[in-house]
Amino acid sequence: MKKKPEVVVITGASAGVGRATAHRFARDGARIALLARGSDGLDVAAEEVRKLGGEALAIAVDVADADAVEAAAERIEQELGPIDIWINDAMATIFAPVHEISAAEFRRATEVTYLGTVHGTMAALKRMRARDRGTIVQVGSALAYRAIPLQAPYCGAKFAIRGFTDALRVELMHEKSRIHVTMVQLSAFNTPQFQWGRTKLPRRPQPVPPVFQPEVAARGIHWAAHHRRRELRVGFPAVKAIVGNKLFPRLADRDLAKLGYEGQMGGQPVPEDRPDNLFEPVIADYGTHGRFDARSRAYSLQLWATTHRSLVLAGALAAGALLWAASRGTRTAARRLG
């Protein structure tokens, strides 16, 4: 019997990680609702989904508007069917020191990144709770644990998403709900956010290396949507930042104070005609990748290891057994010679 296609909702689907994630689900033949503000990128992303074997429904919506997200969810279920997986990936950021950011800019970045996740989650829960099934994936970041300078609005929003998700997870456990909520913590990725996110820096913003391609994140998000893992970290830098901050937070503070500014800026000045998508969508299709293809990695050994724990454990046990056997043989030979 042929498996029924999954109905998947992806916010922030017009570019970057969200668009790469849509590509990954399209290969499964999923019915995918693509949500974002900019219709240019959405339309192209929808066509890509169809070419890859999926069904696409593109909806231009600002996730900061709770009523608009709710209306989109209603339309999705009417046209595609009951939602199986909801992925919250929409975000907005500002590259600048705190003292150069206005209250309106803080509010807007928070409304899109944090409240957009809340609105999406609420719309998904309204439908999933009635059926007692479904998966919600929050696309997070290592910056949800270790904040960095020049991105206070984004870091604050990611911290908030983690707190919100932890609280919701416990509530669902209390209800003995079968709805699964997970969070995927990403490393640095080569996405268009560094080309259109608002910046007040003197030079063009860039991700802190090492940098991964969006398809790596997409593989992690797809895996998290189909496994009951509480949290998934994608890329060793995310693991390093999260664990390092837990063990040595003051050392991390000092390192970031020295390196956190230059590490987030390239060598070229910010172009005068650079687009800015904080309050309005950019009228263009920026695709999936940013401008850092030449130095971005298409594979993460850490992601493979964390999604294949049983194989890693079996390999470790086998290696340990071989070492023990070799050691025992050496001791036996030594006794005979003695």
Does position 333 have pLDDT exceeding 70, yes or no?
A: no
pTM of the model: 0.93
Rounded average pLDDT over 271-292: 92
- Phi then psi for residue 87, to 5 deg, are -115, 120
What does the pLDDT read at residue 39?
A: 87
In the 3-class helix/strand/coil scheme, how is 100-149 assigned residue by residue?
HCCHHHHHHHHHHHHHHHHHHHHHHHHHHHHHCCCEEEEEEEHHHCCCCC
Q: What residue has token string 């503000």?
A: 37
- Residue 301 CB burial class (10 angstroms; 0-12, 13-18, ≥19): exposed
Cβ-contact 263, 208 below 8 angstroms: yes
Q: What pLDDT was estimated at residue 321? A: 77
Q: Cα(297)–Cα(103) distance, rounded to whole angstroms?
A: 36
- Tell me: the pLDDT tens digits for 185-195? 999 999 999 99
pLDDT at 332: 62
Question: What are 91-145's pLDDT values in tens digits?
Answer: 999 999 999 999 999 999 999 999 999 999 999 999 999 999 999 999 999 999 9
With helix as H, strand as E and coil as C, how does 218-254 read? HHHHHHHHCCCCCEEEECHHHHHHHHHHHHCHHHHHH
pLDDT, the chain, mean:
94
Q: Using 50, 70 and 90 to split pLDDT, how confident is the model at 337?
A: low
299 is annotated as an active-site residue: no
Dihedral, CA atoms, 260, 161, 107, 190, nearest 10 degrees?
50
Q: Comparing 326 with 232, which gets the higher pLDDT?
A: 232
The answer to whether 92 and 38 are in contact (CB under 8 A) is no
Find all residues with CB under 8 Å of 267, minimum gap 6, and list them.
203
For 19-35, what is the mean pLDDT?
Answer: 98
What beta strand segments (E) does the chain contain?
7-11, 31-36, 55-60, 85-88, 94-95, 135-141, 180-186, 188-189, 198-199, 203-205, 211-212, 231-234, 265-269, 296-297
- What stretch of H or E contains 210? none
Catalytic residue among 145, 154, 261, 299: 154
User: Which DSSP letter does residue 315 get?
Assistant: H
pLDDT tens by residue, 50-84: 999 999 999 999 999 999 999 999 999 999 999 99
User: What are 294-311's pLDDT values in tens digits?
Assistant: 999 999 999 999 999 888
Name 141's bridge partners: 186
| For the chain, domain boundaries | 7-300, 308-338
7-300 is classed in which CATH architecture? 3-Layer(aba) Sandwich (3.40)
